[in-house]
Amino acid sequence: MTKASDSSSEHSYLFSVEIMVRGNTSGEALEKLLKPLNEAGYADFRIQSGISLGETIQKELKEAKTKHQVLTESLDARIRNYIKTSRLIRLTVNRAKGDKLSVPCRVVNFDPDNELLTVYHVDEKSVYSFRLNEIDDFAE
């Protein structure tokens, strides 16, 4: 024996809604949105966008990156002067594992965004790239 479906039973309907909620923080706005949704007794709901979490973490990471920059305006000007005049200088470089190098060179290129210095080693006749945080001293 099969049961006939009752014509008075409830059916489910799906609605797409965009709601703007104001708050001092995204967490506060999300709380204001979730409270009435939970209390209404809806069968189910899903928040697909609008939650911006991790903004504080991203801000702190960005600030930490800018705090540890080696490059200053005077160092930038000094390096650009070495490139312009093609002056022979000696770099004291502290490589990984404590290896120290003394490099007689001419500065070929400088990338301030990546803090990368490209030099031509005059004795070995080869090109090297060093990060500014590896360089201990510029001797003229």
**DSSP bridge partners of 56:** none
pTM of the predicted model as reported, rounded to 2 decimal places: 0.52
28: which residues sit within 8 A by CB, 6+ positions away? Answer: none
Do 36 and 94 lie in one domain? The reply is: no
Pairing of strands 135-139, 126-131: unpaired
Do 78 and 119 lie in one domain? The reply is: yes
Look at residue 1 in the predicted model and tell me its pLDDT.
46
The answer as to whether 20 is a domain residue is: no
Number of domains in the chain: 2
Classified as helix, coil or strand, 90 is strand
Do 134 and 89 lie in one domain? The reply is: yes
The answer as to whether 134 is a domain residue is: yes
Do 84 and 104 lie in one domain? The reply is: yes
Comparing 51 with 75, the larger pLDDT belongs to 75
Beta strands across the sheet bearing 135-139: 126-131, 116-121, 100-111, 89-94, 135-139
Do 106 and 126 lie in one domain? The reply is: yes
**Going along 95-134, which residue ranges are E strands?**
100-111, 116-121, 126-131
Task: Provide the CATH number for the domain around residue 131.
Answer: 2.30.30.100
Task: Specify which of 17-31, 65-79, 81-95 reaches the highest per-range mean pLDDT.
Answer: 81-95
Do 45 and 103 lie in one domain? The reply is: no
Q: What is d(CA 87, CA 84) in angstroms, rounded to the nearest whole number?
A: 8
The answer as to whether 98 is a domain residue is: yes
* pLDDT tens-digit series, residues 32-71: 988 998 898 888 888 877 766 566 777 777 776 665 567 7
Do 87 and 127 lie in one domain? The reply is: yes
Does residue 91 have a pLDDT over 60? yes
Do 87 and 130 lie in one domain? The reply is: yes
The answer as to whether 4 is a domain residue is: no
Do 53 and 90 lie in one domain? The reply is: no
CB contact at 8 A, 94 and 100: yes
